[in-house]
Structure 1
Amino acid sequence: MESSRSGKESGDIAIPVREVKPSKSGKGAPPVVAAPIRHGQVPPAGGWKRGVGIIDLILRVCAITATLAAAAVMGTTSQNLPFFTRLFQFQASYDDFPTFTFFLAGNAITCAYLVISLPFSIVCIVRPYIVGARMLLLIFDTLALALTMASASAAAAIVYLAHNGNPNTNWPALCQQFNEFCPRVSGAVVGSFLAVAILVVLVVLSAAALRRN
C-alpha cells in the first residue's frame, strides 16, 4: 500500500508487465521491462521548426505589402507640368522609362508569387518536419529575390540620374522640374528594397530549417 501511494504521489503510471515463463526446453523470451511514464512529459512535436514557420508566414505577409505598395505607387506615378506649348506638353510618367516598367512587372510578379506561397508556408507550420514544401519555398524564394533585386537596382540607377543628372552625357536632372514625380518613384524603390531584405531573411530561414532536418 505504501509503495502504491508513493507511486501515485510521484506522478508515475504503473504499467502491468507480464513475465513470460520459459518453456520446458529452456528457450523462453526474456522478461519485458517497461520504464514508468511521467505525467507532463510530452515529446516535442515541432519545436523551433514550428516557430520558424510562423516567422516565415509573418515575413511573407510583410513582403506582400512591400511589393504591392511599390508596384502600386510606381504604376500610378505621373506628373504634368503647369506650363506647356501648342506642340509640347511637359509630362513625366513611369511608362516613359522602360526600366520603371520592368520594375513594376518584377514587383507585381513577386507579389503574386508570395500570395500563392502562403498555403505552403501554413503547411510548414502544421507539419514542421516536411521537406518538400520547404524546398519548393527555398527555390522559388531565391528566384523571387533575384527578380526583385534586379528590378529594384535598375530602377535605383534611373532614380539617381533623375535626381543628379549626368553632365558628361547631357542628362538633365529631371527632379528639379518634376518635384512630385521623383519622390514617388524613390519611395517605390525603397519599398522594393525592403522586400528584397525580407526575401533574404526568408531564404536564410528555409535553408536553416532544411539543414537541421
Structure 2
Amino acid sequence: MLLREFWNDRFWPYCTRNLRESTRVGYESAWRLHVMPCFGGMGMDAISVELVDKWLANFDTAGAARKAWAVLRAILRRAIRWNLLDVDITRRDIQLPAKPHYEPQILTIRQQRALLQGFYGHPLEAWLICAVSCGLRTEEGYGLEWSDIDLRSGVLHVERGLQWVSGHEVTVPPKTELSRRTLPLPRFAVKRLRELRPREGGRLIGTLTPPQAARQYK
C-alpha cells in the first residue's frame, strides 16, 4: 500500500476521530509540506532507515525535522498496529538532528513582584496573578474562569485549556490526567482576586481571544 493511500483512507480518518484539533493541524501541515512530497508515492514497506536519514539531513532546522519524523513515525506505527506493515523501522536508530540547547528564562521573586505591580489595575491582572502564582501553562491560563477559583479555600482548579487553532478558539481538556489539578493560591493573590472578582464571572481574560491576550501582555 502506498503511504498516501494509507494516509487518505485509514490514518487521517483515524486522526479526525481521535486527536485534538491542534494536533491534527500540526499533523496535516507536516504531512503536506514534508512527508507527502518525499514518501507519499512510495509503498510503506519500501521506506528504509537510509531513506529517512537522508530525508532528515535536508531539513533547515532540527525542530522541523523532528516534527516531520514524529508524524511519519506515527503513520508507520499505526500501520504496524493494524497489521498492514511488517517491518518496523521506527524502532531503529534514526539519526535525528541535534536539538539546540534551550534554557527557559525564569523570573526571580523580585522580577515577579515588579511584573505584577506593573499590571496593577490592568484588565489582565487577575489572569497574570494566577498564571504567575501557580505556574500555569499558557493554554491553562487562557481557559481559566472565575468559577475555577475558590477564594474561600484559597485554591485554583485547573479544568481546561483554551487554544487558538486555525483562526478560532478551541476549548481542550487538560493535557494529561495529572494536569487536572488543584493548586494553592498565596495569600496576596487571594486578597487581590477578591477585589477584582466581577459579579458576572466568566474568563479571567474576559472576551479577549488568546492572540489578543498575548498581544496585550507583550
- Calculate the TM-score normalised by the size of structure 1: 0.23
- Calculate the TM-score normalised by the size of structure 2: 0.22
Which one has a bigger Cα radius of gyration? 1
